[in-house]
Amino acid sequence: MSLSPEDVADLTEEISIWYMQDYIQLGFWTLYLYHYPTTLVEEVSTIWPQKWRTGKILFFLLRYTPILYLVLRILTDLRTHIDLTPKVCQGMAVACAFVIGRVTIYGAEVVILLCLHALLGARRRYLALMILIYTGSTIAAIILSSRWDSEGSRTIPRSKLDQELGYGCTWAGAPSSDAIKLGTIAGYINLGKVTSVAILMLSVFLVRYRSTTGTLLHVLRRDSGVHIFSLTALRLTSAVIGNLQESLGFYNIPTAILNSGQYAVIPILACRLLLNMRKSEDPGVQKTVSSLLFGAPVPADDSEDDDDDEPTGISLGPVRRYAGLGRQGDAKGGMARRDAEAKVGAVPVAEENGGSVRPTASQSAGD
């Protein structure tokens, strides 16, 4: 079937947008794949020794789910010249939209809330209230946007144009008007949620700036304020652009930039934020982070304070304590001192029962 000059011009413009979207996605995914090996040593030394608490689980989810996401997106969105069936294409699209993408975005938002709570030093009842409100609004947004995601993931047999261009999937088209309306409502809920997080963020840093010494820039740098501000700003911008999806069209450059940025930059910032929280030198932050995100800190090998150490199982030499003499040393010297004590009538304060001495943990890891 021959095309009119107008149709050819429209098709050429649409294909150019597709190609530009491909290059945008490749740019962000290359950034993430470059960032991963360059920070692997820091991950191994800082996160791997930690106990399996909230912080470590969030870190690994945000660290490795984007890799699975970009692999699936490469197969479904880029010109791989692989012939995929409509069912396979739809399954991978649903996995990206319903599972992997939401784990990445909502996991980063939870990281922001937990870190803000740690910086604020508030009681856990306030954290429970924040998480409750956040969970309720998130579930409502997921339910309302599920139809949008489902219809946006529909596929049809691969068209001849996609075969010629090398795309593995052909999408059915834009969602219905009802799905768009529900998605718009969900977008406003997400916008309100992210706006609330932004207000909380500003309040936390103002409180810390007024209660601690140093300039505001010093407080932001010390408390990873740049990462928190960047994360919140990116989520806020994405929520705003998401509400303009209908007017911008199903395929557009701003949405491509924000979507690719969300699934590449947001995990990097969230993981960096968790690493900085783990390394924070602020005593208040250390206490909250240790009890909330990572558990009790792992002591250095040359640490002299063994109060929080786990039992090592290494037997120590028998130690006897006597009034006025303290710790008993070697066997000969000890016996000599004991005979001397007996002559003057000194009474031992404590006798060793012959067993080995083991240090005990003074604080539970779940405190």
Q: How far is CA 294 from CA 128, 278, 297, in A?
A: 18, 8, 8
Which pLDDT score is estimated for 300? 44
Please tell me the distance from the alpha carbon of residue 131 to that of residue 278, in angstroms, as a whole number.
21
Which pLDDT score is estimated for 218? 59
CB of 327 closer than 8 Å to CB of 13: no
**Closest Cα to residue 45, out of 358, 300, 318, 307?**
300
**Closest Cα to residue 200, out of 169, 238, 157, 231?**
231
CB of 157 closer than 8 Å to CB of 209: no
Q: What is the pLDDT of residues 332-353, one digit of tens each?
A: 444 444 444 444 444 444 444 4
C-alpha neighbours within 13 Å on the C-beta side of residue 253: 9
Q: What is the pLDDT of residues 273-294, one digit of tens each?
A: 888 878 776 676 666 666 667 7
Q: What is the pLDDT of residues 237-251, one digit of tens each?
A: 877 776 666 566 666
Least confident of 144-153, 191-200, 331-340: 331-340
State the residue for tokens 């990116």: 234
Query: Does pLDDT of 13 surpass 70?
Result: yes
CB of 264 closer than 8 Å to CB of 31: yes
One-character DSSP codes across 194-226: HHHHHHHHHHHHHHHHHHSSS-HHHHHHHTTHH
Number of neighbours of residue 186 by Cβ within 10 angstroms: 23
Percent of the chain scoring above 90 in pLDDT: 14
Least confident of 20-24, 197-201, 204-208, 299-303: 299-303
Query: Does pLDDT of 320 surpass 60?
Result: no
Q: What is the pLDDT of residues 41-86, one digit of tens each?
A: 999 998 888 888 888 899 999 999 999 998 999 998 889 888 889 9
